[in-house]
Structure 1
Amino acid sequence: MNTEPTPVITRFIEAMNAQDGAAFVTLFTPAAIVHDEGHTHQGHPEIQAWIEKAWSSYSPKVELRDVLTAGPSTVFAGEVSGSFDGSPIVLKHHLTIADDLITELQIAP
């Protein structure tokens, strides 16, 4: 088990906070799946549309609070702040990573 952020997690947070869609989507495999707010988004076009909508709606910023990596699975807790009710909130980001790319991401409280 590793409690330090992997390079993928570091790049994820950097791209998220910079609102860099091109950098963000390249962190995912072409067929990656994202589960967030009861919706599923699959593939680069859907993931890019999802994150751009989140940025325009909420202006989220993520600050890493905790991380645990075991094999291909990583869970990190991020304090997410932005223009939404209840901000800031700590959300768990469950990632499956293969070959330094995210294959699946699930975000939940």
Structure 2
Amino acid sequence: MSLELPSPISAYVEANARLDVDGMMRPFAADAVVLDDGGRFEGHAEIRGMLEHAAAAYKAVFTPDTFRHEQGQVVVEGPAHGDFKGSPIRFTYRFDLDGDVIKALEITA
């Protein structure tokens, strides 16, 4: 199934499929915040470190299969496959967008 995701989310997902951390970083605002696995990551340096650990090290690829708009956010759901215990795991990504950039992302399983 092909989803018509907003462009910054689509860019993030497409880069993640290639495990391209630079590409995953491009749609994030300089002051973006990511909440993942109990951690809070602010700004490009912290987010890059989290992505290098979570996505690249574990070869974690998120494959969205549904999305919706909810309370001003874009909520994207789907499985992530990779070299981690329990793979695949279904995740929910909650994106806050500001035009063509990601301002905030919360990832939950």
The TM-score with structure 2 as length reference comes to 0.89
Structure 2: unaligned runs, 5 residues or longer: none
Same amino acid, percent of matched pairs: 27
| Range 6-15 or range 36-45, more displaced | 6-15
CA–CA distance in structure 1, aligned partners of residues 65 and 52 of structure 2: 24
User: Alpha carbons of 1:71 and 1:99: their partners in 2 closer, same or farther (altered >3 Å)?
Assistant: farther
Task: Kindly report structure 1 stretches of 4+ aligned residues shifted beyond 6 Å.
Answer: none
1:106 aligns with 2:99: no
Q: Which residue of 2 aligns with 1:11?
A: 11
Q: Which residue of 2 aligns with 1:53?
A: 53
Deviation string, structure 1 residues 67-87 (Cα, Å, up to 9, x no partner) = 012574100002101111111
Q: Which residue of 1 aligns with 2:69?
A: 69
| Range 97-106 or range 71-80, more displaced | 71-80
Structure 1: unaligned runs, 5 residues or longer: none
Give the superposition deviation at 1:57.
Answer: 3.0
The alignment yields a C-alpha RMSD, in angstroms, of 1.6
CA–CA distance in structure 2, aligned partners of residues 36 and 68 of structure 1: 20
User: Alpha carbons of 1:81 and 1:64: their partners in 2 closer, same or farther (altered >3 Å)?
Assistant: same
CA–CA distance in structure 1, aligned partners of residues 71 and 36 of structure 2: 23
Where 2:65 maps in the other structure, the secondary structure is strand
Q: Which residue of 1 aligns with 2:88?
A: 88
User: Alpha carbons of 1:57 and 1:20: their partners in 2 closer, same or farther (altered >3 Å)?
Assistant: closer
Where 2:87 maps in the other structure, the secondary structure is coil
> How many positions carry a matched residue from both structures?
107
User: Alpha carbons of 1:71 and 1:8: their partners in 2 closer, same or farther (altered >3 Å)?
Assistant: farther
CA–CA distance in structure 1, aligned partners of residues 88 and 70 of structure 2: 27
